[in-house]
Amino acid sequence: MLLGRIPSHQELVERFCERLRQGRLIIPGAVDPLAGLLAKRAGFSVLYLSGAALSASYGLPDVGVLTLDEVAARAARIIAATGLPLVVDIDTGFGEVFNAVRAAQELRRVGVAAVQLEDQEMPKRCGHLEGKRLVPPEVMVQKIRAIKRVCPTLFVLARTDARAAEGLEGAIARARLYGEAGADAIFPEALESLEEFQRVREALKLPLLANLTEFGKTPPLTAEELFQIGYEMVLFPVSALRVAAKAMEEFYVHLAQKGSTREFLDRMQTRAQLYALIQYAAYEEFDRAISHS
């Protein structure tokens, strides 16, 4: 944001919390600054940096191999480009309690409004795959308490993956403990029906996030269906990346076969559209102003 001030962590937290209080918050995943700018132009007010999407952008699986530096650097660039509140997936906190606290401090420093912390063991697995192993709930409770003690302004979204291993009641029981420990909202992962989402909503008083990632255990519900039963936030974490990857795959196959881009011109963002998105003219104007001065 060359021509504007980057909002502070506190400002972004306040904007995120105000938007959350309004409810009916759809949060799209944005894996890089360009995606963030596109989402902002479409009208979204909060963005999400998915560990699965970021891992995929590095050609890696979602098994917790990202480093804190990689996540913090990408988060900082998205915030600087968009000026929007960002929710960042920190998986299990990059290790034990001290690691989770350091992650929270680093992300607060670069302006992140909220972090998502989950209760899996390392190496973690994608939330919609089999074979997930959970830490004892007291381990997750310690991490939440520690983060909120050191970074009280940071919004903590506690994710539980207990549905598969401990059933819906086990997930609810863990969520209650996480709320008592200081979590600001709950993310029940991999629920399998609208009825299960409803049951969690009836059982918990904290704000709730529903994850509508594709091709997993959760059916293809709509945001409106979740809002109708009382969910405040609905997340689409990897959707844009999947769309973009499919488009690139089709383009590369075509280019390899045809050696031409002419047939894809109507499916491309034009040069003018890209320059408008990244404020190319504003940078040129700034350069002229500096040169004349």
Token pair belonging to 232: 């405040």
Last residue of a domain, one of 222, 238, 254: 238
Query: If DSSP codes are grouped into helix, strand and coil, which group holds residue 174?
Result: helix
Give the chain's end-to-end CA distance (angstroms, integer). Answer: 21
Burial 238-247 (b: 16+ CB within 10 A, else e): bbbbbeeeee
Residue 3 in any domain: the answer is no
Do residues 108 and 229 both lie within one domain?
yes
Tell me, what's the pLDDT at 1?
58
For the question of whether the overall pTM of this predicted structure is more than 0.85, the answer is: yes
In a domain, 279, yes or no: yes
Domain membership of residue 212 as a residue range: 9-238
Cα separation, 287 vs 256, whole angstroms: 40
Q: How far is CA 202 from CA 169, 197, 267, in A?
A: 12, 9, 45
Series of mean pLDDT values for 10-residue runs along the chain (293 residues): 82 98 98 98 98 97 95 98 98 97 98 98 77 93 98 98 96 98 98 98 98 96 98 98 98 98 97 96 89 79
User: What's the confidence (pLDDT) of residue 123?
Assistant: 81
**Which residues neighbour 95 within 8 Å (Cβ) at sequence distance 6 or greater?**
122
Query: What's the CATH code of the domain at 41?
Result: 3.20.20.60
Same domain membership, residue 186 and residue 90 = yes
Strand residue runs (E) in 18-95: 25-28, 47-49, 86-89
- pLDDT at residue 129, as a whole number: 67
